[in-house]
Chain A
Amino acid sequence: GAGVSQTPSNKVTEKGKYVELRCDPISGHTALYWYRQSLGQGPEFLIYFQGTGAADDSGLPNDRFFAVRPEGSVSTLKIQRTERGDSAVYLCASSQTGGSYGYTFGSGTRLTVV
Chain B
Amino acid sequence: GENVEQHPSTLSVQEGDSAVIKCTYSDSASNYFPWYKQELGKGPQLIIDIRSNVGEKKDQRIAVTLNKTAKHFSLHITETQPEDSAVYFCAASLSGSARQLTFGSGTQLTVLP
Contact = CB atoms under 8 A, between A and B. Distances in A.
Interface of A: 4, 31, 33, 40-45, 48, 50, 55-56, 58-59, 91, 93, 95, 101-108
A41 B105 contact: yes
A42 B104 contact: yes
16 contacts: A4-B43, A31-B99, A33-B99, A42-B6, A42-B104, A43-B89, A45-B102, A48-B99, A48-B100, A55-B99, A59-B100, A101-B34, A101-B49, A103-B46, A105-B36, A105-B43
A36 B41 CA distance: 14
Interface residues of B, number: 25
Interface string B17-58: 000000000000000101010000111111001000000000
A42 B43 contact: no
Contact of B43 (A48, A95, A106): A106
A40 B103 CA distance: 12
B46 A42 contact: no
Given A42-B104, A45-B102, A56-B99, A91 B32 contact: no
A55 B100 CA distance: 10
A41 B6 CA distance: 11
Contacts, number: 58
A55 B36 CA distance: 24
Contacts of B100: 45, 48, 56, 58-59
A4 B99 CA distance: 17
A105 B104 CA distance: 17
A91 B41 contact: no
A45 to B, nearest CB: 5
A43 B49 contact: no
